[in-house]
Amino acid sequence: MATLTVQDNLQQFSTPGNLEDVVFKSIEFVQKTLSENRNLVLITAGGTSVPLEQNTVRCIENFSTGRRGAISAENFLLADYNVIYLHRNGSSFPFERKFVDYLDEKSKRLMDIFTIANDCVNIAENFPKDLKDSLKHYELLKNNILTIKYTSLSEYMHYTHAICNALKPIEKRAMIYLAAAVSDFFVSNSDTQVHKIQSSDKLINLKLSPVPKMLGKLVESWAPDAYVVTFKLETDPEILDHKAKSALIKYRHEAVVANTLHDRYNTVKILTELENIVIRLSEEETHAKVNIEQKIVEKLIKFHVNHMTSI
């Protein structure tokens, strides 16, 4: 049986009500980027959700926090790229995630960092310097990022397609950085019941269909000139290299970043047609809270520059 592609199948995914708005905003941001003579990266981040009912009460989720995408977005912004940040609603957000880390570390709630006196809201005295820096960076760079939120797999599919199409005028100056964890199985429209699945003592059977692969179409026709980076996640390190290499050969895109679930923030491998680079944080770097995304982005920007200057 021939593999179905997203292009054959985009109609399997219900069209989001605000798709036109996403198209409009993306085109506008691409025009702005062209007028500023900058490079642009589309970053996807976080997990997609598969609804079990059309009026959704229950859904299938995955582990992704969006952190990889958020920290990568910070590094691209600091390197003067414009960023389209397509992220799971409620997942990690560039610069803001530092505040979340801080609250987490200190076991504090958001409202613990504010005080109120004479109807004036103040920030708690010991506001750490790196949080101030994050705030400064956000203030400085917020016009260089377009944020688009998704929740469901359908939204992710339609938005990615629409944004890639909008990127075409940027040609080789566009990078596509697919860090999202996209569901591999879903309940197709025709198998999704309208109302809440009723609880009962009986077993229920869910029919999960494979999600059509969109990467082939993306590389071939949605964004044929862009520098395309995908991520490959496995839990078994033994099969990771092989899977990453196979993806590169099959989809003929520019780079795969291979990582394992539990070590993903310490070690990654970047594979291209010519390179096979291991990036591993040293103990000192881990202690100093260096983010591995900084190193991934540095490398990929170098590769992107070569791509832009190639014929």
Q: Which amino acid is at 209?
A: S
Nearer to ligand PMT, 45 or 170 (CB): 45
- Closest to 276 in 3D by CA, of 301, 258, 298, 294: 258
Q: How far apart are the first and last CA of the chain?
A: 37
- 173-195: buried (b, 16+ CB within 10 Å) or exposed (e) per residue? bbbbbbbbbbbeebbeeeebeee
Cα(95)–Cα(138) distance, rounded to whole angstroms?
6
Sheet strands side by side (includes 145-150): 145-150, 82-88, 40-45, 174-178, 227-234, 255-260, 267-271, 276-280
Cα(178)–Cα(231) distance, rounded to whole angstroms?
6
Interaxial angle between packed helices 67-78 and 292-309, expressed in degrees from 0 to 180 and rounded to the nearest 10: 60
Least distance in angstroms from the C-beta of 246 to ligand PMT: 11
Least distance in angstroms from the C-beta of 177 to ligand PMT: 8
Least distance in angstroms from the C-beta of 82 to ligand PMT: 20
Least distance in angstroms from the C-beta of 208 to ligand PMT: 14
3-class DSSP state of 207:
coil
Question: Which residues contact ligand PMT by CB under 6 A?
Answer: 44, 46, 64-68, 178-182, 184, 211, 213-215, 230-233, 259, 264
Nearer to ligand PMT, 150 or 202 (CB): 150
Nearer to ligand PMT, 40 or 182 (CB): 182
Least distance in angstroms from the C-beta of 46 to ligand PMT: 6
Cα(250)–Cα(4) distance, rounded to whole angstroms?
15
Least distance in angstroms from the C-beta of 162 to ligand PMT: 14
Nearer to ligand PMT, 37 or 235 (CB): 235
Nearer to ligand PMT, 8 or 112 (CB): 8
Nearer to ligand PMT, 234 or 285 (CB): 234
